[in-house]
Amino acid sequence: MSLPTQVKLIDVGPRDGLQNEKQTVPAAVKIELVHRLQAAGLKEIEVTSFVSPKWVPQMGDNAEVMAGITRLSGVRYSVLTPNLKGLEAALALPRAAWPDEIVVFGAASEAFSQKNINCSISESIERFAPVVQAAKSVGIDVRGAMSCTVGCPYEGEIAPERVSMLAGLMRGIGVQRVDVADTIGVGTPLKVQRAIDATLQHFDMDHISGHFHDTYGQALANTLAALQLGVWNFQASVAGLGGCPYAKGATGNVATEDVVYLLHGMGIDTGIDLDKLIDAGQFISDSLQRPTNSRAGKALFNKRTST
């Protein structure tokens, strides 16, 4: 079994993690979280989303958060933009606060596409096409998130052919890399591998990342299964924060701390300082007044405080 020797993690905690939070999280806390993640060695951070504040009120402070970050060179900051309006809002900021990468987000499930972004899959692609073009024309990279690649809260199991179809559509409009997302965490390793194989029909391994929610406790197993195929880019959320507002019952992404513990334990380099990452997880958990969802974070924090 040959595994990648290096893995790049994108922490999506400030966006995917916090978007579903019922309590208002102040922009200052979001900014501090980004600062702590980059101090821990994260080289990619999904900061916020430029979506409708009526749909996702928690992300309504997107401009303030983007403008408030003190950037570290070598770190890539991304934001979600579902349409031109979102991209225009991101580009209305001073240039220094522009994202390095935007994310258009589609789904392999028609029903989820409707619930999440209020249009069909083909309408979403039509909507994304000018966003992709406009972003690239000003030097901003484009990632495509593909939701429900193994299962959908409304349609149930999703066939790999539908994942391949979506990946092909994303590729066709110029998306540069894609996330294979298990939005509701129902996937198991072989199903996740099939979704990745389907994506490989249109993107090479260097341009595919795994995005696994942990609702059924399968996310680390799915991460290992993806690693075994050669995937070396993953999204995870510090402290295991999160859930999608349009996927009822879905819990957070796999915790970044748990993925880092897994990878380091297998001798895979991430460039991340696990101790500092645990501090970042503790910071946001304390701010939200609840315990961390990271098993490794909890164990290592307890060990630290008991010695």
Q: Which stretch binds Mg ion (CB under 5 A): 10-18, 102-110, 153-161, 274-282?
A: 10-18
Q: At what angle do helices 110-117 and 121-137 cross, to 10 degrees?
A: 60
Applying CB under 6 A, which residues contact ligand HMG? 16, 19, 49-52, 54-56, 80, 82-83, 85-86, 89, 105, 116-118, 145, 147, 181, 183, 211, 213, 244-246
- Going from the C-alpha of 59 to that of each of 55, 65, 157, the distances in angstroms are 9, 9, 30
Select the binding partner of residue 116 from Mg ion, ligand HMG, none (C-beta < 5 to 8 A, by kind). Answer: ligand HMG
Q: Which CB atom, from 16 or from 101, has the smaller least distance to Mg ion?
A: 16
DSSP output for 250-307: ---BPBHHHHHHHHHHTT-B----HHHHHHHHHHHHHHHTS--S-HHHHHHHHHHHH-
Q: Which CB atom, from 120 or from 287, has the smaller least distance to ligand HMG?
A: 120
β-bridge partners, 178: 144, 208
> Which residue, among 149, 153, 173, 143, has the nearest Cα to 163 in the 3D structure?
149
148 is catalytic: no
Query: Site size for Mg ion, by CB under 5 A?
Result: 1
Dist. CA 192–CA 208, nearest whole Å? 13
Q: Is 16 in the site for Mg ion (CB under 5 A)?
A: yes
Q: How far is the CB of 247 from ligand HMG (least distance, A)?
A: 7
Q: Which CB atom, from 4 or from 86, has the smaller least distance to ligand HMG?
A: 86
Residues lying near Mg ion in the complex (CB under 5 A) are found at 16
Catalytic positions, please?
244
